[in-house]
A and B are shown apart, each in its own frame.
Chain A
Amino acid sequence: MELIVALGLIAFKVALLIAILLLLPLPLTWLERKIAGRMQQRMGPMRVGWHGLLQPVADGIKLLTKEDHIPAEADRFLFKLAPILALTPPFVVFVAIPFGETVSVLGAEITLYVSNMNVALLFVFAVIGLEVYGVIFGGWAANSKYAVLGSLRTCAQMISYEIPMGFAVIGVVMLAQSMSLLEIVRAQADVWNVVYQPVGFFVFFVAGLAEAQRIPFDLAEAEGDLGAGFHTEYSGIRFAFFMVSEYAIVLLVSVLVVILFFGGWNGILVPLPPLLWFLLKVAFFVYLFIWFRFTFPRYRYDQLMAIGWKVLLPLSMANIIITGVALGAVAAP
């Protein structure tokens, strides 16, 4: 009986998570267009609903009813598989992400995470790595030069930025002495990691921007020179899948930054509910992503590679060494 209740609870949490992640791109696109408009002294969407609030719904209906076109020369199986492959990893990653400590609802203790893995961080990086497949397959299967170029760029970019990203969190793991995200947040109860690991945060955030393929690293879908990158040939609901996965990754990177470097649900100064603190911090980083997008131009491809390999990688390695030396000096009698 307990097993059934536990399984039911997990199934409920997973369903809730999927629903939230699928619906969240709606307000996020609205927010992005609104912020873009305001920054460019426009108004953004205004006509559907109050201040265009229903615009994402209208866009969703439009995408659903549009022709789902598959190019004649495309590899049909891979073409259909790619959006699903791109959509799945960001959703899977959220299984390992904690949103808070245990809360008691109606007398029952409910944990605000699906599972507390002791190697959650490793799991997160392993699954994010799979994201590349959707992009490569999408670009390759479309049999179009823009798509192939876009997916080649994305592929090189994601693989080279995963390395500094992975190195950047090692400092955090050293501080928390654990790879469990829950333990990492608990270790930051007094001082947030960003105080000890500013370089780590910087490297992680920049690499995160590149992983999410946002400006200034959105080479993959540089609409000016590539059409739309790897999803040039996608339309309708398959295109929407790519879009949803993109927003899910933006959200994921924000959540990871908050958990790893900004104390997760630990608040400062103002006593707010932990979950609210967590959401506020995530919202700030999502805003930062949008803000960056409408401020910065795009890096050139060689600059992108140079930043990844010549700046971020040495920085993250130096960060590991310095953290190790400092920890050793503190631990030494």
Chain B
Amino acid sequence: MSLARDRVGTWIGWAFFADLASALALTFGYMFSRSVTMQYPDKEKWLPYPRYRGHHFLTRDDEGEIKCVACELCARICPCDCIEVIPYEDDKGSRHPAKFEIDMARCLFCGLCEDACPADAIALGQQYEFSSFSSRDLVVGRDDLLGKPGKARTGGGVVAARLNTEQDVLVETSERRGYNWWRNIRRT
């Protein structure tokens, strides 16, 4: 009996488009749910995690001297041959790069240079907004590399974004813990 009643119920539902109505109700509900769009670069942007491989940077030691010893291991291991190092010897007899150039247009951000470096001098940092209209601008020299931001310490946060990337690339995080992707996504 119950089977027959179920069948009748199915037919009644079918005749009055119960399935279509529930579909419409679902989309209507979604219409008033929150959007998951992140409006980059208009309003907000992600901060990269510490593991993120962005723009290279060179580090200094405690005395403010460049850590790089110009061993050229990074240039050797680089799969796309985009690092060029020319060494010199300073007054104290230690080796440093006179020229350290990375062609960001050719770099594939594999991070092998960071792994190969014996002096922990080069690493891939958190900056990723350095697109340019000319590939010539993407050849970055030693002094620029020294000034680049280092690795992110927290990461995953969401901060206010601005179109101008020239300054204030490092903005204070407003959400220091990892951003929850699923926060606004409705799952039924």
Contact = CB atoms under 8 A, between A and B. Distances in A.
B171 to A, nearest CB: 21
Contacts of B186: 41
A38 B20 contact: no
| A interface secondary structure, majority | loop
A225 to B, nearest CB: 22
Interface string A159-193: 00000000000000000000000000000000000
Contact of A41 (B24, B39, B42, B184): B184
Nearest to B39: A46
B30 A39 contact: yes
A42 B27 contact: no
Contacts of B31: 35, 38-39
A41 B35 contact: yes
Interface residues of A, number: 15
Size bracket of the B interface: 10 to 19
B169 to A, nearest CB: 22
Interface in A207-243: none
A188 B35 CA distance: 42
B154 interface: no
B20 A296 contact: yes
Interface in A1-52: 35, 37-43, 46-47
A295 B33 contact: no
Contacts of A295: 23-24, 26-27
A46 B23 contact: no
B181 to A, nearest CB: 12
A291 B28 contact: yes
A47 B41 CA distance: 11
A294 B33 CA distance: 15
A42 B30 CA distance: 10
B39 A40 contact: no
B107 to A, nearest CB: 31
A43 B30 contact: no
Contacts of A43: 35, 37, 39
Given A38-B32, A41-B33, A46-B37, 12 more contacts: A38-B30, A38-B31, A39-B30, A41-B34, A42-B35, A43-B35, A43-B39, A46-B39, A291-B24, A295-B23, A295-B27, A296-B20
